Amino acid sequence: MSNIQRPETIQRPRWAEQIRQQIGGIVYKDSFVIKDEIICFLYRDSSGRFLILVYPENGASWVHQFSGTELKLNLDGQVLNAKQCPTNQENSKALRENFEFTRPVLIGLKKSFGFGDRLGLATPGHILAVRDSDVTPIFAQQSIREMTRTQRSAQEVMDDACWGVFQAGFDKPFGSDADHLKNEADIDVCAKAGFGMFTIDPGDYVDDDADSESTDVIKKKFAELPWQELESSADETIKRYEGGISLADVKLEFSADQIMRAGSKYGRAIAHTYKMYRHLVSTVGEGNFELEVSVDETASPTTPQEHFYVASELKRLGIKWVSLAPRFIGEFEKGVDYIGDLNIFRKEFALHAEIARQVGPYKISIHSGSDKFSIYPIAAELTEGLVHVKTAGTSYLEALRVLAKLEPGLFREILDFARERYPQDRATYHVSADVNKVPSSTNLGDHQLAGLLDDFDAREVLHVTFGSVLTVKDSAGGLRFRDRLLAALTEHEEAYHQCLKEHLGKHVKPFTI
């Protein structure tokens, strides 16, 4: 960390207690760091969270990059100058400029795990889950859809993750993922916020009907693809794939019909991805970002032949990417385990992994990856480390678990509201929960509430209603749940972080050597 050092472990609790006696609040002992003889740490009181800089009379010039209030602190009998800096956007920028370990990096082909955080409070718990692992974490991760539903900006997502890294004293590399971007404006917003990985979602351009339409319709669709944008032609494309491909002990055969169906299904999505990639290069600069391609949010699975077609076309066009998310066979519903035949999944997943090694190498990305415990060992074995797992909503569910245990009244309100909202909110999610199987709060004792977080139907109902819970207003125009939820989690943050450590640690463990 260049000129950045951590103080001795014996100093941290001593300093923390001295500071607590002077200014009250909670001092995060793991956050203590010394740079240019200036002691820095995070602290929280009833008015919020602050960065404290304690410096000698002739402090380093970078201290002035942080805005804040001057004060005096006595450390080990010496009265020193200090500055109390709010964790706002201006100071977040200064934090990343001066403390390199808080800046996300490009992580390449290292096996990785994405920790989505819909509340902005989960990063220290995510760090507990991954700290002893050889998996590279991605902490700043959120889709545009989730940002819209939680009314958070890309910059807030980035800033919250970086402050969480500082709070926990995490010195290892971590990444950032601007997830499920659909247009160039999405790229611009996330690039400005400092994201390093961009997940392109061309799902709106995938034609799922191509799986079942007549041959005549497919021929017409294939002929009408934007061949100029694809820098090819119908005849050239058929010739490229008609010989098939050998993968380990299996040969993938391509009939002319299969090639045309793959092209009709994914051709426009490839053209859109190419357009988005060129925009990224012109905006961020080649070599300054990482790309993931996601075709997982489609109605039908991506066959191995289709995966090979998509990857080969991306490569032919000169697109460089680090991971690709197919739509796997079986069901990847939100917040619950894999639904489907594991033997069939294993057989097809092995082909997907081999295609990634042969065409790339690139990582196989598993979206809606939370709580898919039955497939983790398979994915870890067959990818041989070329894997990325992406989670988001399970950290929100663990937040609700904390409420169920420690703030049952608030949890009951959220539960009953979620039951009301589920029929509307499920529309854009792949879930099958039956809300009629989720009891109302009046039918449950306090000791039964936390158990709902282990129930299939209740988990999905609570999972997909997060946006409504966080943004619904009360009769006076204020937010009905959000502020109380965040205040409760802040009060019980240690319990929340321990829940995340336990639950997400189970996710990471199968991928850890």
pLDDT of residue 2: 57
Is 30 part of the annotated catalytic residue set?
no
Query: With bands split at pLDDT 50, 70 and 90, how would you rate the model's confidence at 390?
Result: very high
Catalytic residue among 30, 160, 177, 179: 179
SS (H, E, C) 269-309: HHHHHHHHHHHHHHHHCCCCCEEEEECCCCCCCCCHHHHHH
Give the mean pLDDT of 464-472.
Answer: 97
Other CB atoms within 10 A of residue 294 CB: 25
* Domain spans of the chain, in order of start: 4-101, 394-495
- Decide if pLDDT at 128 tops 50: yes
Segment 322-369, tens digit of pLDDT: 999 999 999 999 999 999 999 999 999 999 999 999 999 999 999 999
pLDDT of residue 245: 87
Q: How far is the C-alpha of 294 from the C-alpha of 198, rounded, in Å?
A: 10
Higher pLDDT, 341 or 8: 341
Other CB atoms within 10 A of residue 7 CB: 15
Is 156 part of the annotated catalytic residue set?
no
Q: How far is the C-alpha of 164 from the C-alpha of 175, rounded, in Å?
A: 13
Other CB atoms within 10 A of residue 236 CB: 11
Percentage with pLDDT > 90 across the chain: 94
pLDDT of residue 1: 45
Cβ atoms of residues 486 and 119 within 8 Å: yes
Give the mean pLDDT of 283-296.
Answer: 97
Catalytic residue among 117, 177, 292, 407: 292
Percentage with pLDDT > 70 across the chain: 100
